[in-house]
Chain A
Amino acid sequence: MEFFVDENDRVDGVDKVTGKAKYFAEYQLPGLTYGVLVTSTITKGKITAIDTKAAKNAPGVLEVLSHLNKPSVAGYEQAGGSPMKIFYTDQIFFNGQPIAIVVADTFERATFAASLVKVSYEKAAFNTNFEASIKDAAVKKLQGQPPYVRGIADAYKTAEVKVEQIYTMPVETHNPMELHGIIADWQANDKVTVYAKTQGVKSTQNTIANVFKIPAENIQVNSQFVGGGFGMALRTWPLEIAAIMASKQLKKPVKLVITRDQMFTMVGNRPAAYQKIGLGATKDGKITGITHTAFGQTATYENFTEGVVNMSKFMYDSENVNTNYYVIPLDMGVPIWMRGPGEATGAFALESAIDEMAHALDMDPLDFRAKNDPEKDPAQNRPFSSKYIKEAYKLGAAKIGWNNRKNKPGSTIEGSWNIGYGVSIGVFNAGRGRASVKGILKADGTLILQSATSDIGPGTGTGMTLIASKLMNIPVEKIVFELGDSSLPPAPSQGGSATLSTVGSAVNDVCVALKATIAELAANSNMDATSNFVDVLKKNNLPIIEKTIQSSQNNPEAKNYSMYSFSIHFVQVKVHQLTGVVKVSKIVSVGDAGKIVSPKTARSQMVGGAVGGIGMALTEEAILDNRYGRYVNNNFADYHVPVNADVPDIDVIFIDKPDPIVNPMGAKGMGEIALIGFAGAVANAVFNATGKRIRSLPITPDKVLEG
């Protein structure tokens, strides 16, 4: 079947360009009140007193809640669980921890009153210093993933040619443009509606049900538009519970929108990483050993791990591979997956080391990669469901003009600028979960599809509409895909590049079922099997027919295959000889993510990943002063996400061949692979331009100058 060739606009485009799209903070509820958080100014210790008198006396203030006067929350009364039960502890686990909420009739009054709350503490010694902790034997390290060994451990050490290097990167913050928060509005003692910023309305519903011990069906979660997430809205954060508590206590709707500086502390981050890669190869360029040891960070009060070392296990054909991954608990807010999560961290290290090895061997890094490309997944010893990486190499190399690249670093100079080229691979699991979709065919010719999934930006509704449109032969403008509402049929959270695969499969299945029903009705009413559904419904006097289908998690064949999406990023950089400024001047990203369902939004995903990759490579670093445990650049002026002028034209190429195993559409996710590997490509290009190998992200002018 010929799927998806249309260059369709986003189904919610008009809403977004006219300002009609409503994000969580934009719902007008009668009697709305405003919450503002008070946060800890110490990093570790205990609250000894909270003086709220001045705040309570301030105009318009309705309530000041803290652990001293919080309402009873059934789920928090029980022992166990995370120690960070908001307002149920006097302990401070990190600087900037929410410790009280002030509610007033206006935002300005709540903000002012919050500044009047005086908190006394008993301070304790703390540790936020990631890099020092790695070398400090006294600091606890937790195994983040079981050690992995294939063949001989540390085989690289005895190889003919070896590379052994350390790669580091700092904390990054998701910082979606929309500030986090929630509106909570209790209708009864056991019934609440929330307007949330979430990547999973069902997940938010479940968390609230567990905390407040009320039936899930009594909790309505609305989240139709989400102003970006990149992973930070994959869980319900304590601050959201605080607002829900306050609303329950006041019996009024409470809106809480946190500040940009609070976005650095209380809604997760991409943890810092310290990685050691050992690579061994024969003189003719065959990899004989890969050792990848990684340290990440976690919190003291909750544990966080991610797939930093995953890629090293299967991306290259090596008999000998061993990995180890540790996390160090620090007195900081707990991290959470950020776009391309641990894999992006790992890819920077591995793909830098691969480039270093190619250089050591005096090989073209593409040839070196191609030579070590495995036919099947060496970790699982099974075939890939689909993989066209060598084709991707060729397409990308042609597009960027790879033949202009000289293997000897520093060979190409234009005026005050050195020119260099770099390449890197990205890979991410092509996951597929289980989701339900309700399809409603109406006699007026429209199709309504409903699922409690989310759209944080990729264009979920657009993709689903296109799938249904092709299957049902209904024009897109006659299809409405409803999402972001917990009362709809359940779907998993939007994360791990799995929405299209998961929810798309269910859309596929529900469309197939609707078509079967129409065919059956047509047959029963002596109509042609190919009759238009409108005619069939009319003939049968049916205003609508509806089906709800829960799609299976997998094709039964899937267990025999390894399923991944792949990307290859090519970049050209210019490095200024005197100032060390790096400009990414050309980008070609090739996506090998199966069949492309929605070409326009898919391209945008890849473009967005490259832009995020520029940030990771060149500009992004959340800087914490370890003496105080506080961030010193917690704002958009000093934490540099890329701006328009940082980004050149970006060419996106899709292999666009269906994966026969993963799902009926043959389409795999691409949100993660758009970013994974990109930073490595930039670092490799900087090396090619200058001969300077920067192993510590971000590659700022100072590092280039001193490198």
Chain B
Amino acid sequence: MINFQFVRTSVVKTALSLIGKDPKAAFIAGGTNLVDLMKRGVIAPEKLIDINHLPLKQIELKNNILHIGALVSNSALAENALVKEKFPLLMLALQAGASAQLRNVATVGGNMMQRTRCGYFYDTTMPCNKRQPGSGCGAIGGYNRMHAIFGTSESCIAVHPSDMCVGLAALDAQVVIAGAKGERKINFVDFHRLAGTTPEKDNNLQKGELILRVEIPANNLNKNFHYLKVRDRTSYAFALVSVAAALEIKDGLIANARLAMGGVAHKPWRLTASEVFLRGKPATLANCEEAAKLAMKDAKGFGENDFKLKLAPNTIIEALTIAKSKA
């Protein structure tokens, strides 16, 4: 690891100014992914701007919208009373990620910014268009058991590894971003990108911008919900497939449905068609199965991950079944 410069600030404006002036600088918050990537030589910022002291650690309900500061740790968020009561789906998603130690340090903003765990991305001697544009994709034609089945491109089939983001995508969250020209707000589902021809870009955060907070509008999805993560071991492993499912059931009919998947795409994968299908219908197994089937339209395997074409719909069905069965 190169011996980078290290500066610290507790003022957002200063942080923005620092990053704006220095193309080789990076923000560091928890560092649980950044330090890892630096150790392996995947990235080599020449300056780190420590943003841990920025005042972005609040969780508060304002006008029925939950505001979550970008520096709130994953564990603080999962343990927060408001989250447990109003957005328990998010709590489950958070608890499914990483380990207790990592969740204590990893932040909301950092979790959104984490890079893929594709082995070719991490090994600097192998081809990877995300790490080194134009070098090729090692996973296509190689080891792709963990890789994407939705929204893939010829240049990259990596998946976004976060669980928290799958929950936030399902909850219609929004992201508030600060830049040199002021603040902007985008839908969470538009934060991350598909790889397309520019897999080096994981998301739509522009150079010089900073995530300030995430906002979740109130909903009635705190009764029938589940986050189901299928992985190779019981804990502390990335998802083969994960599903965030939440239903609002009124008078025996689904008034509102939210479904998002992890481990299947370059971004948290929202299942809009399945949600539309479920709305107004009873939560029967047959309807869950039909929703799962709809979700799989346009799915494509790459050999070793073909099993996800079966696992993904099955996981949707199981997540919906558990969600609807909650009293």
* A contacts B directly (C-beta below 8 A): yes
Residues in chain A within 8 A of chain B (CB atoms): 41, 108, 111-112, 115, 416, 576, 578-581, 583, 618-619, 623, 625, 627-628, 630, 632-635, 637-638, 640, 642-646, 700-702, 705-706
Instruction: Report how far A73 CA is from B117 CA in the complex, Å.
Output: 42
Does B142 contact A619, Cβ atoms closer than 8 Å? no
Does B235 contact A643, Cβ atoms closer than 8 Å? yes
Does A579 contact B126, Cβ atoms closer than 8 Å? no
Among candidates B119, B126, B236, B321, residue contacting A643 with C-beta atoms closer than 8 Å? B236
Does B311 contact A580, Cβ atoms closer than 8 Å? yes
Write out the residue numbers on chain A whose beta carbons fall within 8 Å of the beta carbon of B311.
Answer: 579-580, 701-702, 705
Does B123 contact A579, Cβ atoms closer than 8 Å? no
Write out the residue numbers on chain B whose beta carbons fall within 8 Å of the beta carbon of A576.
Answer: 318
Closest to A95 in B: B125
Instruction: Report how far A635 CA is from B141 CA in the complex, Å.
Output: 22
Write out the residue numbers on chain B whose beta carbons fall within 8 Å of the beta carbon of A706.
Answer: 307, 310
Write out the residue numbers on chain A whose beta carbons fall within 8 Å of the beta carbon of B235.
Answer: 643-646
Does A701 contact B126, Cβ atoms closer than 8 Å? no
Instruction: Report how far A643 CA is from B318 CA in the complex, Å.
Output: 24
The 9 closest A-B pairs by CB, nearest first: A632-B119, A702-B307, A645-B234, A578-B314, A645-B235, A41-B125, A632-B143, A578-B318, A579-B230
Does B315 contact A578, Cβ atoms closer than 8 Å? yes
Interface residues of B in 220-275 (CB under 8 A from A): 228, 230, 232-238, 240
Does A642 contact B233, Cβ atoms closer than 8 Å? yes
Closest to A576 in B: B318
Contacts A416-B321, A579-B315, A702-B145 supplied; 14 other A-B pairs, CB < 8 Å: A579-B228, A579-B311, A619-B232, A625-B138, A628-B125, A633-B119, A633-B143, A638-B117, A638-B119, A643-B234, A702-B311, A705-B307, A705-B311, A705-B314
| Interface size of B in residues (CB-CB distance below 8 Å) | 35
With known contacts A579-B314, A638-B117, A632–B232 Cβ distance under 8 A? no
Write out the residue numbers on chain B whose beta carbons fall within 8 Å of the beta carbon of A623.
Answer: 143
Write out the residue numbers on chain A whose beta carbons fall within 8 Å of the beta carbon of B142.
Answer: 625, 627, 632
Distance between B299 CB and nearest chain A CB, rounded to angstroms: 15
- Which one of A576, A580, A619, A637 has the highest number of Cβ atoms from chain B below 10 Å of its Cβ? A637
Write out the residue numbers on chain B whose beta carbons fall within 8 Å of the beta carbon of A108.
Answer: 1, 3
Interface residues of B in 288-325 (CB under 8 A from A): 307, 310-311, 314-315, 317-318, 321
Does B143 contact A115, Cβ atoms closer than 8 Å? no
Cβ-based interface call for B55 (8 A): no
Instruction: Report how far A538 CA is from B119 CA in the complex, Å.
Output: 68
Task: List 12 A-B pairs, Cβ < 8 Å.
Answer: A111-B1, A578-B315, A632-B126, A637-B237, A637-B238, A638-B119, A642-B233, A643-B237, A644-B235, A700-B232, A701-B311, A705-B307
Interface of A is mostly: loop
Does B123 contact A632, Cβ atoms closer than 8 Å? yes
Interface residues of B in 94-143 (CB under 8 A from A): 117, 119-120, 122-123, 125-126, 138, 141-143
Distance between B290 CB and nearest chain A CB, rounded to angstroms: 16
Cβ-based interface call for B327 (8 A): no
Write out the residue numbers on chain B whose beta carbons fall within 8 Å of the beta carbon of A646.
Answer: 233-235
Write out the residue numbers on chain A whose beta carbons fall within 8 Å of the beta carbon of B145.
Answer: 702
With known contacts A41-B125, A583-B234, A625-B126, A701–B3 Cβ distance under 8 A? no
With known contacts A579-B318, A645-B235, A705–B310 Cβ distance under 8 A? yes
Does A619 contact B117, Cβ atoms closer than 8 Å? no
Closest to B235 in A: A645
Does B240 contact A701, Cβ atoms closer than 8 Å? yes
Write out the residue numbers on chain A whose beta carbons fall within 8 Å of the beta carbon of B117.
Answer: 637-638
Instruction: Report how far A579 CA is from B117 CA in the complex, Å.
Output: 22
Does A578 contact B317, Cβ atoms closer than 8 Å? yes
Cβ-based interface call for B2 (8 A): yes
Closest to B234 in A: A645
Instruction: Report how far A576 CA is from B234 CA in the complex, Å.
Output: 13
Write out the residue numbers on chain B whose beta carbons fall within 8 Å of the beta carbon of A702.
Answer: 145, 240, 307, 311
Instruction: Report how far A635 CA is from B237 CA in the complex, Å.
Output: 12
Write out the residue numbers on chain A whose beta carbons fall within 8 Å of the beta carbon of B230.
Answer: 579, 581, 701
Cβ-based interface call for B41 (8 A): yes
Interface residues of B in 169-183 (CB under 8 A from A): none
Write out the residue numbers on chain B whose beta carbons fall within 8 Å of the beta carbon of A583.
Answer: 234
- Which one of B120, B228, B233 has the highest number of Cβ atoms from chain A below 10 Å of its Cβ? B233
Write out the residue numbers on chain B whose beta carbons fall within 8 Å of the beta carbon of A580.
Answer: 311
Instruction: Report how far A579 CA is from B315 CA in the complex, Å.
Output: 6
Does A628 contact B126, Cβ atoms closer than 8 Å? yes
Write out the residue numbers on chain A whose beta carbons fall within 8 Å of the beta carbon of B307.
Answer: 701-702, 705-706
Instruction: Report how far A627 CA is from B123 CA in the complex, Å.
Output: 14
Closest to A623 in B: B143
Does A619 contact B233, Cβ atoms closer than 8 Å? yes
Instruction: Report how far A301 CA is from B2 CA in the complex, Å.
Output: 36
Does B138 contact A640, Cβ atoms closer than 8 Å? no
Instruction: Report how far A702 CA is from B307 CA in the complex, Å.
Output: 6
With known contacts A579-B314, A637-B117, A630–B238 Cβ distance under 8 A? no
Instruction: Report how far A430 CA is from B146 CA in the complex, Å.
Output: 42
Instruction: Report how far A108 CA is from B38 CA in the complex, Å.
Output: 12
Closest to B119 in A: A632
Write out the residue numbers on chain B whose beta carbons fall within 8 Å of the beta carbon of A112.
Answer: 1-3
Distance between B289 CB and nearest chain A CB, rounded to angstroms: 11
Instruction: Report how far A87 CA is from B3 CA in the complex, Å.
Output: 29
Write out the residue numbers on chain B whose beta carbons fall within 8 Å of the beta carbon of A630.
Answer: 123, 125-126
- Which one of B138, B143, B237, B310 has the highest number of Cβ atoms from chain A below 10 Å of its Cβ? B143
Distance between A497 CB and nearest chain B CB, rounded to angstroms: 27
Write out the residue numbers on chain A whose beta carbons fall within 8 Å of the beta carbon of B237.
Answer: 637, 640, 643
Write out the residue numbers on chain B whose beta carbons fall within 8 Å of the beta carbon of A41.
Answer: 125
Instruction: Report how far A123 CA is from B107 CA in the complex, Å.
Output: 44
Closest to B241 in A: A579
Write out the residue numbers on chain A whose beta carbons fall within 8 Å of the beta carbon of B234.
Answer: 583, 643, 645-646
Instruction: Report how far A41 CA is from B41 CA in the complex, Å.
Output: 15
Among candidates B41, B138, B228, residue contacting A115 with C-beta atoms closer than 8 Å? B41
Does A640 contact B143, Cβ atoms closer than 8 Å? no
Write out the residue numbers on chain B whose beta carbons fall within 8 Å of the beta carbon of A627.
Answer: 141-142
- Which one of A108, A111, A578 has the highest number of Cβ atoms from chain B below 10 Å of its Cβ? A578
Instruction: Report how far A618 CA is from B125 CA in the complex, Å.
Output: 30
Does A618 contact B310, Cβ atoms closer than 8 Å? no
Instruction: Report how far A483 CA is from B159 CA in the complex, Å.
Output: 49
Does A640 contact B232, Cβ atoms closer than 8 Å? yes
Write out the residue numbers on chain A whose beta carbons fall within 8 Å of the beta carbon of B138.
Answer: 625, 628, 632
